């Protein structure tokens, strides 16, 4: 039987189409981390890389050492190298909008991770619920001492989470203030999330208030370490309550010793899983089967997933920090 040239040509095209269709696309996903200044960010990075790799993604990873311009340049390079989605932990919530705009020029989607990016048409935002975290901090301290003088060291003024923490704290404290049971004698945002800022602001608190302070709510555990340092110098460690967040190892040890009152364990594993699944679906242009809320970033209503966290105190370290695998009993008891 003779086969015409046209039939062979059709057969060739058909087989080419079939085999090319069988090739698995490898989605390229970029992760832009602001820094590893706190130990939790190493965990975030590890979880994200692990989850993305399991889903078949090629992962690009860069750390900007808290330099926003460097992070913008890293984003440009990733986009040029074929990233289809960027997962961004911004350094400055406003300046990072340049990353989103650059990405959109090349048809690249952006997921803000843990920190919202303002002033742009951001695609997605995945984070712990910072308003809920602030509420957990204030609720736990007031459950122990519902009267007295409280101070708030709210976290970085460059991070949208700080205002949300403050709102959550005030949602709880307001009713105590209205009854006259609690006075908030200090409430300031910091330049960054560091121990040094905790030291600076705690000294200011005691310089301005000659009376004893009942409780200090710190934006994170690094700031809380600064608070504790000053309390130790002033002979007040264990007397003034201290709340933080992130469940850093040194802080969990301080809770065991009764020096820090509580911290908050953020759902990093769940955040990474959701972010990775979202990123790969976007890169492969697959349907997104997730439930979103919306958060305003001043320019748009951003599709968001906010996950609740858990308060950690001396009585539940084993059932929270240890059972989740965040830290081991051996690490905590070293």
Q: State the CB neighbour count (10 A cutoff) for residue 224.
A: 31
CATH 3.40.50.2300 residue window(s) in the chain: 28-122+268-307, 130-266+312-332
Give the pLDDT score at 37. Answer: 86
Check: CB of residue 112 under 8 Å from CB of residue 99.
no
CA Rg value for the chain? 24
- Which CATH fold would you assign to the domain 28-122+268-307? Rossmann fold (3.40.50)
H or E segment and range at residue 312:
strand 310-312
The superfamily in CATH containing domain 130-266+312-332 is Response regulator (3.40.50.2300)
Helix orientation angle between 268-283 and 39-54, rounded to the nearest 10 degrees: 40
Token code pair at residue 193? 């999330």
Bridge partners of residue 29, in order along the sequence? 59, 85
* Angle CA 199–203–206, to nearest 5: 145
What's the chain's length in residues? 334
> Encoding tokens for residue 39?
């130990």
Element (H, E) at 222: helix 221-233
User: CA geometry: angle at 97 spanning 92 and 103, to 5°?
Assistant: 130
With a CB cutoff of 8 Å and minimum separation 6, the contacts of 207 are none
Q: Residue 303: what pLDDT?
A: 98
What's the pLDDT score for residue 4? 53
pTM of the model: 0.89
pLDDT on residue 67: 96
CA separation for the pair 24, 300 (Å, rounded): 35
3-state secondary structure of 296: strand
Whose tokens are 């690094």? That residue is: 222
**b/e code 154-180 from CB counts within 10 Å (16+ = b):** bbbebbbbbbbbbebbbebbeebeeee
Coil, strand or helix at 229:
helix
The DSSP H or E segment spanning 237 is: none
Query: Is residue 145 classed as helix, strand or coil in its secondary structure?
Result: coil
pLDDT in tens for each of the 334 residues of the chain? 444 544 444 444 444 444 444 445 899 999 999 999 888 999 999 999 999 999 999 999 999 999 999 999 999 999 999 999 999 999 999 999 999 999 999 999 999 999 999 999 999 999 999 999 999 999 999 999 999 999 999 999 999 999 999 999 999 999 999 999 999 999 999 999 999 999 999 999 999 987 789 999 999 999 999 999 999 999 999 999 999 999 999 999 999 999 999 999 999 999 999 999 999 999 999 999 999 999 999 999 999 999 999 999 999 999 999 999 999 999 999 8
């Amino acid at each position: 039987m003779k086969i015409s040239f046209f039939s062979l040509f059709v057969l060739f095209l058909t087989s080419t189409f079939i085999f090319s269709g069988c090739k698995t696309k490898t989605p390229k996903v970029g992760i832009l981390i602001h820094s590893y200044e706190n130990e939790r960010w190493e965990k975030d990075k590890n979880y994200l890389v692990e989850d993305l790799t399991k889903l078949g993604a090629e992962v690009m990873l860069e750390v900007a050492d808290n330099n926003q311009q460097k992070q913008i340049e890293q984003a440009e390079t990733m986009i040029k190298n074929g990233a289809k989605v960027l997962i961004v932990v911004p350094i400055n919530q406003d300046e990072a909008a340049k990353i989103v705009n650059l990405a959109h020029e090349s048809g690249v989607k952006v997921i803000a991770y843990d920190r919202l990016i303002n002033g742009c048409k951001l695609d997605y935002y995945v984070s712990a619920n910072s308003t809920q975290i602030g509420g957990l901090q204030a609720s736990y301290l007031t459950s122990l001492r519902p009267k007295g003088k409280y101070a708030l060291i709210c976290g970085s003024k460059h991070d949208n989470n700080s205002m949300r923490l403050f709102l959550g704290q005030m949602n709880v404290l307001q009713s105590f203030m209205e009854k006259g049971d609690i006075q908030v004698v200090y409430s300031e945002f910091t330049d960054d999330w560091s121990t040094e800022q905790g030291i600076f602001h705690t000294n200011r608190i005691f310089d301005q208030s000659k009376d004893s302070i009942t409780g200090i709510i710190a934006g994170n555990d690094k700031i809380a370490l600064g608070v504790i340092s000053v309390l130790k110098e002033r002979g007040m460690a264990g007397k003034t309550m201290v709340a933080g967040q992130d469940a850093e190892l040194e802080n969990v040890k301080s809770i065991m010793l009764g020096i820090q009152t509580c911290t908050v364990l953020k759902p990093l594993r769940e955040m990474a899983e959701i972010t990775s699944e979202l990123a790969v679906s976007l890169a492969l242009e697959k349907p997104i089967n997730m439930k979103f809320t919306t958060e305003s970033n001043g320019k748009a209503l951003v599709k968001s997933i906010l996950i609740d966290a858990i308060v950690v105190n001396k009585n539940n370290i084993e059932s929270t920090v240890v059972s989740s695998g965040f830290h081991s009993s051996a690490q905590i008891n070293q």
